[in-house]
């Protein structure tokens, strides 16, 4: 979902990060408010006043979204859900969970916490703005407070639309989950509603384009595309978690992986292994069967081509660390999380310093696809997931 993000600060143990795409929102908010909204509401002021108001309003929006996502995170933490943190990006913010809620009640309370916080912020800002205006206070302050209050109420209305993964969609999922006792079915229905809502937004976007509103039209199209894509991906994640839950890595790993000795030359490694097996990472094993490290194609790119015939694999091998190793009895879902977190498609399976096997993303996806086809459920979803991963790998 995100590109490069940067940690701004920590609050209550949660890291608040900002994706570079968030700068687009900041720029649009400051520009539209200082160039159009505030000058129309308060004509006759110096442009610097409007710019300052725009910056303050953007900061108010930033704080509002952080509080919204923080409330999600605090409730999730109370129910034992591991949280990666809060990330602000072009479409707002998200509290990143690494697992599903343990119960419909937890899902409902976690989902409703964010909109409830936004509702309180919105009403409070509008109330304070009314009091300041009645007391004859600064009109700039009134304008900023009123805008922050209104935008929070708009966020509440938008987020409570019952389409997954919006907060309203999570409320719908919690109700269906509690009714049918089936998380997969509840997610499927809520995700379909989210997909339909995404199509509606895209249609509204094209309607705006035809009516001569290109900026608004493109924005609705982007939001609709994001909601539709997020709904599909969220449902795929639930499928994967349910299919892999409780399955150990040992069930999927290749117990006879291709490994290389440390005395091999880099040229031999490239000719006899990289070009033959097309792997980007090879475990390095000595004569006693001990794992001495891992060598990757990225390591090879750092070596001068003229030195390939003289340097050995042992000289260029890097350590097999936490990012690319795993134990055989580890839950397969944790292995998939590690692959996603470290952007790798292969993990070395070890035990007491010895190589036991290699687990690949393809192994896991092939299992998911076969199981979905045998159970005659959601095969299309898993097929689309495999295709997307194959495109990424290519």
Active site residues: 69
Cβ(204)–Cβ(213) below 8 Å: no
Q: How many Cβ atoms sit within 10 Å of the Cβ of residue 11?
A: 13
**Angle subtended at Cα 295 by Cα 292 and Cα 296, rounded to the nearest 5 degrees:** 155
Structure tokens at 208: 């705006």
Structure tokens, 289: 């069967």
3-state secondary structure of 295: strand
What is the distance between the alpha carbons of residues 106 and 6, in angstroms, rounded to a whole number?
29
Extract the tokens encoding 84: 């990666």
* Residue 362, number of CB atoms within 10 A of its CB: 15
End-to-end C-alpha distance for the chain, whole angstroms: 19
> How many CA atoms lie within 13 Å of 274's alpha carbon, on the beta-carbon side?
18
Closest C-alpha to 64, from 13, 99, 29, 20 = 29
**β-pairing, 92-97 with 83-89?**
antiparallel
Contact 58, 26 (CB under 8 A): yes
CA separation for the pair 278, 387 (Å, rounded): 19
């Amino acid at each position: 979902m995100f590109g490069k993000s940067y940690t701004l600060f920590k609050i209550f143990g949660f890291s608040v990060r900002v994706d570079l795409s968030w700068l687009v929102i900041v720029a649009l908010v400051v520009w539209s408010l200082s160039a159009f909204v505030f000058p129309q509401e308060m004509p006759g002021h110096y442009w610097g006043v409007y710019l300052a108001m725009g910056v303050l309003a953007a900061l108010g929006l930033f704080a509002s979204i952080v509080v919204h996502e923080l409330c999600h995170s605090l409730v999730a933490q109370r129910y034992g859900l591991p949280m990666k943190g809060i990330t602000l990006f072009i479409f707002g913010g998200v509290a990143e969970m690494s697992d599903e809620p343990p119960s419909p009640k937890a899902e409902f309370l976690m989902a409703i916490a964010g909109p409830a916080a936004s509702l309180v912020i919105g009403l409070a800002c509008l109330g304070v703005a009314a009091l300041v205006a009645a007391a004859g206070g600064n009109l700039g302050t009134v304008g900023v407070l009123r805008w922050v209050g209104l935008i929070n109420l708009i966020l509440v209305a938008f987020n409570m639309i019952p389409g997954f993964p919006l907060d309203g969609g999570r409320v719908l999922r919690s109700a269906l989950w509690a009714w049918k006792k089936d998380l997969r079915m509840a997610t499927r229905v809520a995700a379909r509603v989210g997909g339909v809502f995404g199509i509606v937004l895209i249609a509204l976007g094209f309607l705006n384009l035809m009516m001569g509103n290109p900026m608004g039209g493109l924005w609705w199209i982007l939001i609709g595309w994001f909601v539709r894509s997020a709904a599909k991906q969220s449902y795929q994640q639930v499928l994967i978690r349910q299919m892999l839950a409780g399955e150990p890595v040992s069930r999927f790993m290749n117990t006879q992986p291709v490994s290389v000795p440390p005395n091999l030359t880099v040229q031999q490694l490239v000719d006899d292994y990289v070009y033959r097996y097309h792997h980007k990472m090879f475990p390095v094993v000595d004569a006693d069967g001990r794992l001495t490290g891992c060598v990757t194609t990225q390591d090879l790119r750092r070596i001068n081509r003229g030195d390939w015939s003289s340097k050995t694999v042992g000289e260029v091998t890097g350590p097999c660390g936490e990012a690319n190793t795993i134990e055989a009895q580890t839950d397969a879902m944790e292995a998939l999380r590690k692959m996603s977190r470290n952007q790798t498609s292969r993990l070395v399976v070890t035990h007491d310093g010895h190589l036991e096997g290699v687990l690949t993303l393809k192994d896991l996806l092939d299992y998911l696809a076969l199981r979905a086809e045998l159970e005659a459920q959601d095969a299309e979803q898993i097929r689309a997931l495999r295709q997307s991963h194959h495109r990424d790998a290519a």
